[in-house]
Amino acid sequence: MERMRPFGTTIFAEMSELATRTGSVNLGQGFPDTDGPETMLRAAATAVTSGHNQYPPARGIPELRQAIADHQRHHWGLEYDPDSEILVTAGATEAIAASILALCETGDEVVCFEPYYDSYAASIALAGAVRRPVTLRPEHGRYVFDPDQLRAAFTKRTRLVLLNSPHNPTGKVFTRAELELIADLCVEYGAIAVTDEVYEHLVYSDAASPHLPLATLPGMKERTLRVSSAGKTFSCTGWKVGWVSGPPELVSAVLRVKQFLTFVNAAPLQPAVATALRSPDSYYVDLRNDLQQKRDLLCAGLTEAGFDVLVPEGTYFITADISPLGGTDGMEFCRSLPDRCGVVAIPAQVFYDTREAGQRLIRFTFCKQRPVLLEAVRRLRALT
Ligand SMILES: *Cc1c(COP(=O)(O)O)cnc(C)c1O
């Protein structure tokens, strides 16, 4: 199909293959190298051996939908009815794809912030919709957007705004003032927001703002599909258990598409994720603190190696500017990095339509065990 032709092999496949071939420390793809909570793992094993292996209900098992509702009320003060306002999906990826496919007519426009998660552009293309990127650029150490560019991205054809906060790959956490501007434009143009909040629990203590779900802003809950997933919060990216919450009519529209993409998913993992979502607050605090230490370790190592480091406020990614090391193109830089020092990173330019904006930025993940990060830092010293 013509509109899928621009989407070749993902950069993650290329860089992970390069890491394997060169024996490099792979700080490219963002998946943890440790397992999630023990109680969750045991619950999954029990479910597999006690008959939870056939098609679950279309919207997900009631126990999980209840746990998702309770989790959102507890952490964000958001009330959703588990029977009509929550749908379990095959990861956040399917929730986002099904939302776009369900809501966009051919030619409808989707406002999104670049750099963006790589599945967004493909899902928008599959729907025959058009992406309207708004560029995030580093300014005084923090990624910001130009409010005028955001305003100009809205038109009569705007159907959706796709917002990822905390944001991958920049680590930006959108502030209340930024969210208010987005919310005002959604209301003014009658647009629906799809929010990707898979990093909702990964915001660090020095962030300019805590995480604020867009749906908590006045007038937004009734026009927002809020997406999250177990993958990042419970270190189980391979499980692909996600969910979408929103007004009944919007969630029903997403279900109409989801039922023909995967129908249902992950029967024995659903009760396990329900267990995980009931983790005590200390679980989330520990997860965050552990990752903040890892962030600081890698930021220090990258700075020492000569990069201009943008300290992330959230997520488990760091972006760094290669200019001080004489780099002018992140793609070239990342392809040569394994030979130069045995470390793999991802060129951020692949996440931009405006390539120039991401030309010199590369992304490292720090969701790895401490010894792995220490070894990466040791190797990166070879650059200086
Ligand atoms: C990892 C990630 C996803 C995918 O989540 P799954 O639950 O694995 O589908 C979606 N959005 C962002 C920003 C991510 O980083």
Mean pLDDT by 10 residues, the chain (384 residues): 86 92 95 96 98 98 98 98 98 98 98 96 97 97 97 98 98 98 98 98 96 98 98 98 98 98 98 98 98 98 98 98 97 96 97 95 98 98 92
- Testing ligand 1's pocket by substitution, the residue of 12, 88, 93 carrying the most ligand atoms inside 8 A of its CB is 93
Residues 269, 47 contacting (CB under 8 angstroms): yes
Q: How many angstroms does the Cα of residue 376 sit away from the middle of ligand 1?
A: 24
Report pLDDT for 24: 97
Q: Answer whether 133 contacts ligand 1 (Cβ < 6 A).
A: no
Report pLDDT for 157: 98
Report pLDDT for 276: 98
Report pLDDT for 27: 97
Report pLDDT for 263: 97
Report pLDDT for 384: 86
User: Which one, of 304, 305, 277, 301, lies nearest residue 383 by Cα?
Assistant: 305
Report pLDDT for 251: 98
Which are the contacts of 45, defined by CB distance < 8 A and separation ≥ 6? none
Q: Answer whether 117 contacts ligand 1 (Cβ < 6 A).
A: yes
Q: Answer whether 228 contacts ligand 1 (Cβ < 6 A).
A: no
Q: How many angstroms does the Cα of residue 23 sit away from the middle of ligand 1?
A: 26
Q: Answer whether 265 contacts ligand 1 (Cβ < 6 A).
A: no
Q: Answer whether 196 contacts ligand 1 (Cβ < 6 A).
A: yes
Burial of 162 (0-12, 13-18, 19+ CB in 10 A): buried
Report pLDDT for 311: 98
